[in-house]
Amino acid sequence: MTLKELKREFLEYLEIEKGRSILTVRNYDHYLTRFLEYAKVDGPKDVTETQVREYRLWLNRQQGTKVGRNVETLKRKTQNYYLIALRAFLKYLRKRGIESLNPERIELAKVPERSLDLISPAELTRLIEAPDSNTLSGLRDRAILELLFSTGLRVSELCSLSQEDVDLTRDEFSIRGKGDKVRVVFLSDTARDAIKAYLKERKDFDDAMFIQYGKNAKHNDEKNIDLRLTPRSVQRIIKRYATISGITRKVTPHKLRHCFATDLLSNGADLRSVQALLGHANIATTQIYTHVTDKHLRDIHKKFHSRG
């Protein structure tokens, strides 16, 4: 079989047997197609270590995002996505007994340690209180902001919610996240009240928890199209309220997820519990928050530094 045929079977394997999302499968398709277009080889035996090394050099010289007048090269983290996809594909070939390059020969590039540009508690309060509660869209937006900070949901998880998913009598509900894993998240009193206030004013019959309003929504309703908010819509909503609140830094739904985690850790929650609440498969992912919430180190510095 050719590499293109094997790639198709690998993508089907990811979707059916591994249960990966359609978006993940689409991304793997993109990464692997890019390699096959570069390598110009047909058989699995034709993939060599030298070829992969040259491919990495080629990736490192590709244009990435534009910053001002300058165009940066592809970020190392993004380059690693291409390599991870290729390595997973080679592992799949090995599992099927098909001879090709040893996947262990592909090492990922070292990336800088992740930094968190958090907003302050005062900025967070201004952001959450920015929506106009006298309008239906304002009630919706307040509920979105309260829910994101209360639960640490990913924006895709938030948009996937239906009204029947959230039990307001129990202040907790289950969410299916990355890797099709289910976890329990909890509602604060303010989040529960904000959702109740929003749903009380809803007159539509749409099943989605958060829906569009305005001209576009009216046209969609006439055409019987799903009114559910998209992740991009939620990003735009939060960006608008950040501007209204006078926050100069970039604010995204994921930044509210960061605020959720750091708030818990700052108030004494243990790392394992926060890992479970965020739905992180690996605790190393959760540990990025510890250096900004380690009150013990701050107290040590204040107590023992000569100019403390």
CATH (domain of 262): 1.10.443.10
Q: Is 12 exposed, middle or buried (0-12, 13-18, 19+ CB in 10 A)?
A: exposed
Distance CA 12, CA 29 (A): 10
Looking at the domain assignment, is residue 223 inside a domain? yes
Rounded-to-5 percentages of helix, strand, coil across the chain: 60, 10, 30
The helix or strand, by DSSP H or E, that contains position 172, with its residue range, turns out to be strand 172-176
Question: Does 143 lie in the same domain as 25?
Answer: no
Question: Does 267 lie in the same domain as 183?
Answer: yes
Distance CA 37, CA 82 (A): 13
Q: Could you list the residue range(s) of the whole structural domain that residue 38 is in?
A: 3-105
Number of domains in the chain: 2
Question: Does 258 lie in the same domain as 182?
Answer: yes
pTM for this predicted structure: 0.75
Contact 202, 183 (CB under 8 A): no
Contact 210, 161 (CB under 8 A): yes
Along the 308 residues of the chain, how does pLDDT read in single tens digits?
899 999 999 999 999 998 888 889 999 999 999 999 999 988 999 999 999 999 999 998 887 655 556 667 788 889 999 999 999 999 999 999 999 999 999 998 887 776 677 899 999 999 999 999 999 999 999 999 999 999 999 999 999 999 999 989 888 999 988 877 899 999 999 999 999 999 999 999 999 999 999 876 665 655 567 789 999 999 999 999 999 999 999 999 999 999 999 999 888 888 999 999 999 988 888 888 877 666 667 777 778 877 65
Looking at the domain assignment, is residue 306 inside a domain? no
> Among 53, 81, 105, where does a domain finish?
105
Looking at the domain assignment, is residue 304 inside a domain? no
List, in order, residues 6 or more apart from 76 with CB less than 8 Å away: 109, 110, 111, 112
Q: What CATH number should be reported for the domain holding residue 73?
A: 1.10.150.130
List, in order, residues 6 or more apart from 180 with CB less than 8 Å away: 19, 21
The catalytic site residues sit at: 154, 178, 254, 257, 280, 289
Question: Does 294 lie in the same domain as 148?
Answer: yes
